[in-house]
């Protein structure tokens, strides 16, 4: 394993028809957590999966929060910059093109922050149960950047208006946003797998 800033796992590509996926786990996950999902939705794609560098009661996260749904935005900005540098270093080390992020919960939120704060680092993002990471987001140029958002109608953590506001923020920046509300809670379901797989299909063909 190349010595990069984040503990991570890399599964090299075995096919050339998918962009690499940057897998970003939720609270309490690790660098192995989303590998099975990545293999399922993008067979043969390179998978780059870092472990969040913040611990909350022993559980890895990508940035600190002050309470449920209340983020430490100063820490979030620092950690997003760290992750952006890691992606650049990993691309150089492993010879990867710009990845598409696939993030769940806390991982979806750091991916959303990457899109807003460091446009160009990601080729797109599939965000599972995301919420707005920044109260006053910048206005980046995300023209034609593909973004999938999958929210849960019964999600007790992410208010519907919050997710809708994030989708509107991405659209205002020029991103091609698909926002689907699934009949589920905060946890992942087969419907998420099916939706991500279908959304990634055209990206693989591009």
Per-residue model confidence as pLDDT tens digits over 145-179: 999 999 999 999 999 999 999 999 999 999 999 99
User: Is a pLDDT exceeding 90 seen at residue 15?
Assistant: no
pLDDT recorded at residue 18: 86
Low-confidence winner among 60-64, 135-139, 179-183 (lowest mean pLDDT): 135-139
pLDDT at 1: 43
pLDDT at 206 over 70: no
Mean pLDDT, rounded, for 119-134: 97
pLDDT mean across residues, the chain: 95
Q: Which of 52, 56, 49, 42 is nearest to 11 (CA)?
A: 49
Given a cut of 70, whether residue 205 has pLDDT beyond it is no
Looking at the structure, give the CATH architecture of the domain made up of residues 8-205.
3-Layer(aba) Sandwich (3.40)
Which has the higher per-residue pLDDT, 68 or 35?
35
Task: For residue 203, count other CB atoms closer than 10 A to its CB.
Answer: 17
Average pLDDT over residues 105-118: 98
pLDDT over 90 percentage in the chain? 88
* pLDDT for the residue 193: 98
Q: Which of 25, 33, 49, 155 is catalytic?
A: 155
Cα–Cα distance, 206 to 203 (Å, whole number) = 5
Q: How many CA atoms lie within 13 A of 33 on its CB side?
A: 23
Residue 22 host element (H or E): strand 21-24
DSSP 39-69: HHHSTT--EEEEPPSEEETTEEESS-EEETT
Give ∠ CA 118-22-36 in degrees, rounded to 5.
160
Of the two residues 193 and 16, the one the predictor is more confident about is: 193
pLDDT at 187 over 90: yes
- For the chain, the domains span 8-205
pTM of the model: 0.96
Q: Is 141 a catalytic residue?
A: no
**Total number of residues shown for the chain:** 206
Catalytic residue among 105, 151, 179, 192: 105
30, 75, 82, 186: the catalytic one is 186
Please name which of 61, 76, 66 lies closest in space to residue 115, comparing C-alpha atoms: 76
Q: Is the distance from CB of 115 to CB of 170 less than 8 angstroms?
A: yes
d(CA 80, CA 76): 6
pLDDT at residue 17, rounded to an integer:
81
Question: What is the model's pLDDT at position 16?
Answer: 78
Which of 50, 46, 70 lies closest to 61 in space, CA to CA? Answer: 50
155 in catalytic set? yes
Question: By three-state DSSP, how is residue 139 classified?
Answer: coil
105 catalytic residue (yes or no): yes
| Closest C-alpha among 121, 122, 129 to residue 150 | 129
Q: Per-residue pLDDT for 142 more than 60?
A: yes
First-last CA distance in the chain: 30
């Amino acid at each position: 394993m190349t010595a990069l800033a984040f503990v991570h796992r890399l599964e090299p590509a075995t096919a050339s028809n998918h962009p690499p996926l940057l897998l970003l786990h939720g609270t309490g996950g690790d660098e192995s957590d989303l590998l099975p999902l990545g293999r399922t939705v993008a067979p043969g794609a390179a998978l780059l999966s870092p472990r969040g560098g913040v611990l909350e009661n022993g559980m890895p996260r990508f940035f600190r929060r002050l309470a449920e749904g209340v983020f430490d935005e100063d820490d979030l900005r620092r950690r997003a910059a760290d992750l952006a540098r890691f992606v650049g270093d990993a691309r150089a080390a492993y010879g990867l093109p710009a990845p598409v992020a696939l993030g769940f919960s806390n991982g979806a939120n750091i991916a959303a922050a990457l899109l807003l704060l460091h446009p160009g680092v990601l080729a797109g993002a599939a965000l599972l149960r995301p919420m707005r990471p920044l109260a006053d987001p910048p206005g980046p140029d995300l023209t034609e950047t593909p973004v999938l958002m999958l929210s849960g109608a019964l999600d007790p953590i992410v208010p519907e208006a919050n997710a809708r506001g994030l989708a509107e923020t991405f659209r205002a920046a020029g991103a091609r946003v698909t926002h689907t509300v699934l009949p589920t809670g905060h946890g992942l379901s087969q419907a998420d797998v099916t939706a991500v797989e279908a959304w990634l299909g055209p990206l693989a063909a591009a």
